[in-house]
Structure 1
Amino acid sequence: MTVVEYCRHETRVYELVIIRAGGRVRCSAYIDHEDLFRLPLDIAEAEVIRSKRSYIDIATRAGSAWSSPCVYLDIK
């Protein structure tokens, strides 16, 4: 399954998708209420080799952190 197929069919609305290659973050996508998102073409067509649901800490304007659900995708 490619990254774009995974994002269209396996994610939920308002979910953050973190895309990694070789253990390094390459890109992220936020799935909006209409399931719309943008990805670079080379990443959109890459094959997903592993997925994992988890959480990521996001900094707030107040300087604290908020734990947000996300999906990590590892690609070839």
Structure 2
Amino acid sequence: MTPAELEHAHQRMQQRWYELVQAEQQGASTHELERLYDRYMRSVEVYNQGSKSCPVKYQERRFPGVA
């Protein structure tokens, strides 16, 4: 994965987290929250796979929702 592709994967991961948080705050059903969480986790997996092949500076990012 190129640095640009990794950046895109990172942005997608952030967007998925934002969607999940917004849905929870708006009172979405458990089913909907689980679906959004699954989407978020798939985006994390894509990012993790891509970060293995990119320079170290891209691997030091924090995941949304992680303190």
Please give the range of the TM-score, normalised by the shorter of the 2 chains.
Answer: under 0.3
Q: TM-score, normalised by structure 1?
A: 0.23
Q: TM-score, normalised by structure 2?
A: 0.24
Larger RCO: 1 or 2 (CA < 8 Å, sep 6+):
2
More helix by share: 2
More strand by share: 1
